[in-house]
Structure 1
């Protein structure tokens, strides 16, 4: 039996498992405000030197440490938050696939904040 729809704070009825258009709009606006204040990737350290180190690391660690699928992302185990020493500490790097980085890792970090 399907689950019943829920009532949004705006008063709209939303099917189970979906988000109301007003919620999507609020999320997009919040993300846009966040991105406007965020430095560029290069200013955060993800420049040519990082890209070169990333390629080398993935060549020697090609599998995701979580699911063993092919990795495409070099993730910082402990968030560096601008600390250049921690940023470049290869012991703090791990290979992840997009799925694990976008799902499992992001959920872990949101709990730690």
Structure 2
């Protein structure tokens, strides 16, 4: 099976096929750090003690992941609330998910959906 040739990074390093140059990794982590500084903390986003209590009660009633049927350990918002507290607390918008489905399938699904612009 043919293997792709290494590529040259903009910094001049030779990078194997499918790999990332250390300078690219550094730029990515710096970009993410800049974003994290602008993002409100979890309690400002609504994840308070009241959320923990409601989440725990929801998971006691809904024990299986909505995607794969495995043990659920997270409550996910079907429609991302993006700060909208009425959507955040709407229990019809909640679904139980396991960590792998929330971190994988659900994140891919959200990236495919265009962001709504509030007016």
Structure 2 equivalent of residue 109 of structure 1:
110
CA distance in 2, matches of 1:9, 1:101: 35
Deviations 1:77-113 (A, max 9, x none): 0011111110000000011111111111111112223
Aligned Cα root-mean-square deviation (Å): 1.5
Highest CA radius of gyration, 1 or 2? 2
- SS of the residue 2:76 aligns to: strand
- Which 4+ stretches in 1 moved above 3 angstroms? none
Q: Which is helix-richer, 1 or 2?
A: 1
CA distance in 2, matches of 1:6, 1:103: 29
TM-score normalised to structure 2 length: 0.86
How far apart, in 2, do the equivalents of 1:6 and 1:62 lie?
47
Residues of 1 paired with 2:10 and 2:63: CA distance? 45
CA distance in 2, matches of 1:6, 1:61: 49
Distance (whole Å) between structure 2 residues aligned to residue 3 and residue 58 of structure 1 = 47
Structure 2 unmatched runs, 5+? none
Unmatched segments (≥5 aa) in structure 1: none
TM-score (norm. length: structure 1): 0.90
